[in-house]
Structure 1
């Protein structure tokens, strides 16, 4: 009985060993033989590795390019700032130069005006002493007074004839509109032969206003016009004779008195 039990246990031991051995071998075989899932994971990894390297290379190239562009942009920005600063400095210098130029021009203008006044004053003194000087701003034989030149011609014409005559001489008929001109012109009218001079004063009929040729009104405060109301002829033009003014018929023959603006006295004319 005992021997039969021993034999049975030995058989079980043998079977257990066999079972363990089988499990061990299966386990080893399982670890050694790759399963289908592990094989599927390795195949994609090997296929994407070159693509990943290519993408990494492209990224590095792009980063390098961006860095280069950033450097260029920074340099361009620095250059732009430098140029703007240079332009601002040049504009500031130009503004200073312009201001200095305007200042010099103003000083030059003042010096020119001062020199002009001095030259005119000196020329008047020389002219008044000699009665005529080459520094005179008036044409030859014209009389210089104030800022005008005057000429009292000997030719006799009617009033309109004197108007045309003065225009031909680049002048206009005599106009007495200030006290200074009155004091100068009236002494020129003295004549022992009663040669009176036409002025530019006239009216458009009896009772109308007396007007100068430029349209300015006559001022009775300067001088009176002597009118002969007994005459039947129209007396609408004014002459001066022996320091007085008379209304005369515009068709009568009288001498012509003309005036024109004086030129600028040049300093070189004084020498």
Structure 2
């Protein structure tokens, strides 16, 4: 009887231990607490916020792409407009240059026509108002000439011509040579100067190639120098302090087109 009691006690104790062990297995290892309701709401809110951010980024991306495309289109249009404007400006410049050249060529042609016409008028009337030389001056090609029948030294002659914005006569081409020959000058100073020695006379034709034509300052002329003068068809040299007539020359003014082309009267006469 006592043995049965002991067996029952032991079994009871064993069952108690088993329950304790089972309870330890189930309770001793702490399971994670069940998520609270507030945490789930926060998680949902965060997820929703992230979703909104993604949507916002997508919308911004679309807006940026659309705006960029529009602005690039405008930029291309501006670039095309700029290139077109540059082409138009270049074409206009070329047109202006061509027009300027045509106007310049036309002006030159008109000037040549006016000069030739004025030459013809000058032959008929030496003091015609189209003449590009001062009154009493002779006109030959591009120069004006005047004969001064006053006996002066060579240097005084140079000074007189300088006061007229002119210089003593020089002969440097055949056209001027023939013009001077036609005047049959007798003892007229030329713009020839030598130093300290007297050269032999020479034919007027030979002076075209002379290196003695005046190209330097005349202030140092003295009584030991010899100057050239023309006498008929020859050139002679004498003391620069001798006195002779002289001839001045200067560049003619351009012929005035309006004073030439507008002076012809319908009946063929000229004013």
TM-score normalised per structure 2: 0.73
Distance (Å, rounded) in 2 between the aligned partners of 1:234 and 1:254: 17
**Aligned position for 1:78:** 73
Would the aligned equivalents of 1:202 and 1:210 in 2 still touch at CA under 8 Å? no
- Aligned Cα RMSD in Å? 2.6
Any stretches of 5+ residues in structure 2 without a counterpart?
1-25, 200-209, 217-222, 264-271
Q: 1: distance between equivalents of 2:83 and 2:38?
A: 67
For residues 73 and 210 of structure 1, the distance between their equivalents in structure 2, rounded to whole angstroms, comes to 80
- The total of aligned residue pairs comes to 218
Query: Are the aligned partners of 1:235 and 1:247 in contact in 2 as well (CA < 8 Å)?
Result: no
Paired residue secondary structure (2:34): helix
SS of residue paired to 2:32: helix
CA separation of 1:235 and 1:47: change in aligned 2, threshold 3 A: closer
Q: Is this contact kept in 1: 2:138–2:144, CA < 8 A?
A: yes
Q: Choose which of 226, 229, 237 in structure 1 pairs with 2:227.
A: 237
Quick one: distance in 2 between partners of 1:238 and 1:90? 67
Question: Aligned residue for 2:49?
Answer: 54
- Larger radius of gyration between Structure 1 and Structure 2: 1
Equivalent residues of 1:187, 1:243 under 8 A apart:
no
Q: Do the aligned residues in 1 keep the contact of 2:198 with 2:226 (CA within 8 Å)? A: no
Alignment check: 8 A CA contact 2:229 2:237 kept: yes
Q: Secondary structure at the match of 1:99?
A: helix
Determine which of 192, 201, 205 is the counterpart of 1:201.
192
SS where residue 144 of structure 2 aligns? strand
The one of 152, 156, 160 equivalent to 1:161 is 156
User: Structure 1 regions of 5+ residues with no counterpart?
Assistant: 1-29, 216-232
Q: Provide the secondary structure at the position in 2 that maps to 1:52.
A: helix
- State the match for 1:261 in structure 2: 251
Q: After the TM superposition, which residues 1-271 of structure 1 pair with which residues of structure 2 at under 5 Å, given as runs?
A: 36-37=31-32, 39-40=34-35, 44-190=39-185, 196-206=187-197, 211-214=212-215, 234=224, 236-270=226-260, 271=263
Contact 1:189–1:197, Cα closer than 8 Å, also in 2: no
How far apart are residue 241 of structure 1 and its match?
Answer: 2.1
Describe the superposition over 1:94-126 as per-residue Cα deviations: whole angstroms up to 9, x where unpaired. Answer: 111111111111211221111111111111011
Give the deviation of 1:46 after TM superposition. Answer: 3.8
Conserved 8 A contact 1:197-1:255: yes
Looking at structure 2, the residues matched to 86 and 266 of structure 1 have their Cα atoms a distance apart, in angstroms, of 47
CA distance in 1, matches of 2:174, 2:184: 16
* Cα distance, 1:45 vs structure 2: 4.0
Q: Is the 8 A contact 1:187 1:242 kept in 2?
A: no
Q: CA deviation at 1:40?
A: 4.3
